[in-house]
């Protein structure tokens, strides 16, 4: 499904070379136990019309443009809808606006000004469909590897890649736990929206640190609550209807966790309440979304009566 030889060539001579060499076999093995809907998603990918992106905008927004008649535009739209639900975006592809559940561009606008990504070799852990990977390239990254075990998001990435075949971005359908220990080869590692899904958050931070070279930078983004360094919310059951949310620390607690995990220069660069304009159902994601997960009489609370989603972005360096 994906030719990894350009990635292997790209990482030759770097600390990641041996890992890159092992990836084709690992992915072949992973494909033997992939998702039951993969064939349907592959059919959607095959239905994508042949189009050439003559104008590629990844900096201010994610927009591809080029010759595309109405028939091809309708075919493109239909094929992309076959890869629904689309959660992270938006994407503007040859006149088709993929209005995703999330305005991920808003998060990128909050985070990107605090980062220097030019020339960087980046790992995006929990990259979803790879939306931010393209934006990282737009910010000047040398190459971006994303990992996410979700096969639909992998297929959505391949849809974009169809029209951006030459760009140095690779999505691997792997979890962080599938990576070898002590990779120590990335300049920047992103973990956005993943920590609160982990049952062992400190182990997650240590695993992220293992992926970085010395001096490398971590961008960690996760759900937080108000409070001091001893405040951590562990939901009794669901949080905003999600079953798999474990730890929501305060910013101060998160900073402490990062320092205990061995990071230095830990600093919070953004805190933002997630609005119902930022996360909502659309034609491209028709299931329930944030407005359904909040108390209808008080958007400051989830339906479970817990503090409504607030996200913090922190930077930290591996010494």
Among 2, 81, 112, 175, binds ligand SAM (CB under 6 A): 175
Over its C-alpha atoms, the chain yields an Rg (Å, rounded) of 19
Beta carbon of residue 297, minimum distance to ligand SAM (angstroms, whole number): 26
Indicate the residue among 68 and 141 with the shorter CB distance to ligand SAM: 141
- To ligand SAM, the closest distance from the beta carbon of 244 in angstroms equals 8
- Tell me which stretch binds ligand SAM (CB under 6 A): 18-26, 90-98, 186-194, 225-233: 186-194
Q: What is the 3-state secondary structure (H, E, C) of the chain?
A: CCCCHHHHHHHCCCCCHHHHHHHHHHHHHHHCCCCCCHHHHHHHHHCCCCCCCCEEECCCCCEEECCCCHHHHHHHHHHHHCCCCCCEECEEECCEEECCCEEHHHHHHHHHHHCCCCCCEEEEECCCCCHHHHHHHHCCCCEEEEECCCHHHHHHHHHHHHHCCCCCEEEECCCHHHCCCCCCCEEEEEEECCHHHCCCHHHHHHHHHHHEEEEEEEEEEEECCCCCCCCEECCCCCECCECCCCCEECHHHHHHHHHHCCCEEEEEEEEEECCCCCECCECCECCCCHHHHEECCEEEEECCCCECCEEEEEEEECC
Say how far apart CA 124 and CA 140 lie, in whole Å.
15
By beta-carbon proximity to ligand SAM, the closer residue of 6 and 149 is 149
Short-list 176, 133, 139, 174, CA closest to 157: 133
Site string for ligand SAM, 91-130 (x = CB under 6 A): -------------x--------------------xxxx--
Q: How far is the CB of 90 from ligand SAM (least distance, A)?
A: 13
Interface characters, 57-96, with ligand SAM (x: CB under 6 A): -------------------------------x--------
Interaction residues for ligand SAM, span 194-213 (CB under 6 A): 194, 197
* Out of 6, 95, 149, 235, the residue judged to bind ligand SAM by CB under 6 A: 149
Q: Of 52 and 109, which CB lies nearer to ligand SAM in the complex structure? A: 109
Binding residues for carboxy-S-adenosyl-L-methionine: 88, 102, 107, 126, 176-177, 192, 196, 311
Identity of the residue, 19 or 78, whose beta carbon is nearer to ligand SAM in the bound complex: 19
* Site for ligand SAM contains 170 (CB under 6 A): no
**Of positions 34, 72, 78, 150, contacts ligand SAM by CB under 6 A:** 150
Q: Output 53 or 308, the one with its CB closest to ligand SAM.
A: 308
Q: Which residues make up the interface to ligand SAM (CB under 6 A)?
A: 88, 104, 125-128, 147-150, 153, 175-177, 192-194, 197
């Amino acid at each position: 499904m994906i030719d990894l030889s350009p990635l292997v060539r790209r990482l030759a001579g770097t600390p990641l070379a041996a890992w890159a060499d092992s990836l084709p076999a690992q992915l072949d093995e992973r494909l033997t136990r992939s998702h039951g809907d993969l064939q349907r998603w592959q059919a959607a990918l095959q239905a994508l019309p042949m189009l050439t992106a003559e104008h590629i905008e990844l900096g201010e927004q994610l927009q591809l443009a080029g010759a595309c008649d109405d028939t091809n535009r309708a075919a493109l739209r239909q094929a992309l809808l076959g890869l629904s639900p689309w959660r992270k975006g938006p994407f503007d592809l040859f006149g088709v606006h993929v209005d995703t559940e999330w305005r991920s561009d808003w998060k990128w606008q909050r985070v990107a000004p605090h980062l220097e990504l030019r020339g960087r070799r980046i790992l995006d852990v929990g990259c979803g469909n790879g939306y931010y990977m393209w934006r990282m390239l737009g910010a000047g990254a040398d190459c971006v590897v994303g990992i996410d075990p979700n096969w639909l998001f992998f297929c959505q990435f391949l849809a974009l890649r169809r029209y951006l075949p030459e760009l140095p971005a690779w999505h691997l359908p792997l979890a962080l736990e599938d990576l070898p220990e002590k990779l120590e080869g990335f300049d920047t590692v992103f973990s956005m929206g993943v920590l609160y899904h982990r049952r062992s958050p400190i182990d997650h931070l240590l695993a992220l640190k293992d992926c970085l070279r010395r001096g490398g930078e971590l961008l960690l983004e996760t759900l937080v609550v108000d409070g001091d360094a001893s405040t951590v919310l562990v939901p009794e059951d669901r949080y905003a209807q999600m079953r798999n949310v474990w730890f929501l620390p305060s910013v101060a607690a998160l900073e402490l966790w990062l320092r205990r995990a061995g990071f230095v220069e830990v600093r919070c660069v953004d805190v933002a309440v997630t609005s119902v304009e930022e996360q909502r159902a659309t034609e491209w994601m028709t299931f329930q979304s944030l407005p359904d997960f909040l108390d209808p009489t008080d958007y400051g609370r989830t339906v479970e009566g817990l503090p409504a989603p607030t996200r913090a972005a922190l930077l930290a360096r591996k010494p």
